[in-house]
Amino acid sequence: MSFGFFDFLTLFGSLSLFLFGMKTMSEGIQKFAGDRMRSILAAMTSKRFIGILTGFLLTTLVQSSSASTVMVVSFVNAGLMSLLQSIGVIMGANIGTTTTAWLISLLGFKLNISALSIPLIGISFPLLLNKRERFNSLGQILLGFALLFMGLDFLRGSVPDLETNPQMFKFLQDLTGYGVYSTFLFLGLGTLLTIVLQSSSATMALTLVMCNYGWIGFEHGAAIVLGENIGTTITANLAALVGNVYAKRTALAHSIFNIIGIIWMLLFFRFFLGQIDHFMVHFGLGSPKELPTMIPIGLSIFHTVFNVTNTLLLVGFARYLVNIVEYILPSRGKKFERPHLEYFSSGFLHMAELSVFQAKKEVRKYSELAHRMFNFIPALIIETDKKEYQNLLEKVSKYEEITDRVEVEITTFLIKISQKQLSSQAAEELRRMRLISSEVEKIGDVCFKMATLLSEKKKEKIYFTPSQRSDLFEMFKLVNTGFDLMLSNLQSSTLEARRRLPEANSLEKQINAYRDQISDAVITDIEKHPTHAKSGFYFNKLISSCEKIGDSILNINEAIAGINIE
């Protein structure tokens, strides 16, 4: 019996259905978890064991260590977490991958879950049509669960039988005859499969099926599992290629951590497998070395014990691991180098709910950038050194370019996220962030115009009077108070921002009242001193610009509070 092209498509389609089910279930869990999942991210602290727990929970929820580690790389790239914090999360992500193996071993092979898939789809369909978001998300989880096990069942059925198709995968059996070298060959095969499939879960499913049908033994299946641990680091390293030095260090730390684990495991490989075999026989489960049907359980135990042991052994050496990657990838020492997000597309978008969290952090950083830009204006007024004055003007111009570029990037990113399946709360947060980004860009434009006005004033050799300077700096002080409140709101909850809204309104009214007060005073001053007319012109323009920034700050505060959303 030959294995034709149609049979290959059936096999590939079964694997695709398995992956699609996993993706659907993952997205449903993210929507169902909503804010709670983003709270998990917010709990990432310098305490490594909390980071390990965070990584475990995230990988268990999204069912992909590749997705979790790419997310961590993105966060380090954005400056949202340190390299030391990221190592704990990566360790937890490795342990989180074991849940997939247990899910398949305990349910996929032992129980006929696929027989329940159609009834599960029958339950999920009305839930998907339900307008209540929680029910809709629950329906998506059940649908993904059903499709996942349908895919696994089809995968088992589409795999060629070794007895009737001995020529199939004969090369795998040929590879088993090279002793210790066979272990390395299967380790490489596991790495290659994970790179090609871009999913350690899919590789694990394929490995468990092959072992269950007796194509390869327990030892070689374990070698493929070790190879998956290397292959899964490739995705993070690819994502880090477009990131900064901090992201590259995180990806390298992940690779070094996994490689160290594989090195020590290979030294004790046969002893380790022997102990697992002894444990399973002792508890009446059967020997995975003799019974192919016991290999999936044996591999699940091996995968779990290896990742947990590797984490416990290396968690105390996390700081040394940081020192190693910093030595290998030293900072270039650029004056303006800092953690930032320049690329949003590094594999992160398939976790839409978590992307909202990332975008929220980036919008706050964008707002901080506008605040720094605004503070160049008072510096321009008091600067007397020509060279320093020119440097300040160049900084304002550079910041204006950056604010324009970042606004486009953030808006593009937010639009991409909005095309994904999101909870209604996440969708509302996206609308708020798009409005906030637009207002921040307006602040950047106003600051650039203020700097241009000051440059023209200097060329005309016009000087502000002491009274005008005093009034300007009082206005700058009011606007800076508004910025402080706005940045504080961006870091707090919607309810807290709503509670502070009267304070934001009061500040905006103070800015308006102060503008009206000093504008009248300027007219009176010009009537008494006609020579102050030109300085009064520039003075009024700057005051009006400050008032416009005050309006934008209020709009941002209202957007954070969920009021006046366009």
CA distances from 196 to 17, 143, 202 (A): 17, 26, 10
Choice among 33-42, 289-298, 331-340, 548-557 with the minimum mean pLDDT: 331-340
Q: Pick the more confident residue, 21 or 228.
A: 228
Q: What does the pLDDT look like over 138-171, one tens digit per residue?
A: 888 888 878 877 876 776 667 655 455 555 555 5
Question: What are the tens digits of pLDDT across the range 501-543?
Answer: 999 999 999 999 988 888 777 667 665 666 557 788 888 889 9
Give the pLDDT confidence score for residue 254 in this predicted structure.
86
Percent helix, strand and coil across the chain, each rounded to 5?
80, 0, 20
Share of the chain above pLDDT 90, in %: 14
CA distance 177 to 383: 79
> Is 226 in contact with 265 (CB distance < 8 Å)?
yes
Structural domains for the chain: 5-328 (no CATH), 352-560 (1.20.58.220)
The Cβ-side half-sphere exposure at 183, using a 13 Å CA radius, reads: 15
Q: Are the C-beta atoms of residues 148 and 18 closer than 8 Å to each other?
A: yes
pLDDT value at residue 526: 64
Predicted pLDDT of residue 110: 52
| 3-state SS class at 47 | coil
If you average pLDDT over residues 553-558, what whole number do you get?
A: 92
Measured between alpha carbons, how far is 96 from 45 in angstroms, rounded to an integer? 19
Please determine, for residue 225, whether its predicted confidence score (pLDDT) is greater than 70.
yes
Q: Specify the pLDDT at position 170.
A: 58
Asked if residue 259 lies in contact with residue 173, where contact means CB atoms within 8 angstroms, the answer is no
Kindly state the average pLDDT of the residues 290-295.
82
pLDDT score recorded for residue 334:
44
Which residue reads 């002894």 in tokens? 278
Is 480 or 114 the better-scoring residue by pLDDT? 480
Closest CA to 98 of 225, 279, 266: 225
User: What are the CA-CA distances from residue 265 to residues 248, 307, 403, 418 (Å)?
Assistant: 26, 10, 50, 44
Instruction: Dump pLDDT digits (tens) for 415-429.
Output: 777 766 666 777 788
Helices (H) and strands (E) in the chain, counts: 24, 0
Which of 45-59, 358-372, 394-408 comes out lowest in average pLDDT? 45-59
Q: What is the pLDDT of residue 81?
A: 67
Angle, vertex CA 21, rays to CA 20 and CA 22, nearest 5: 90
- For the chain, the average pLDDT equals 78
Average pLDDT, stretch 313-340? 72
Q: Which residues does 385 contact at the CB level (< 8 Å), separation at least 6?
A: none
Does residue 545 come out as left (phi exceeding 0), alpha (psi in the -120 to 50 range) or beta?
alpha
User: d(Cα 234, Cα 203) in Å, to the nearest integer?
Assistant: 14
Q: What is the pLDDT of residue 540?
A: 87
Residue ranges of E strands in 5-92: none
User: Average pLDDT for residues 257-268, to the nearest whole number?
Assistant: 91
115 contacts: CB under 8 Å, gap ≥ 6: none
- Report CA 527 to chain centroid distance, whole Å: 60
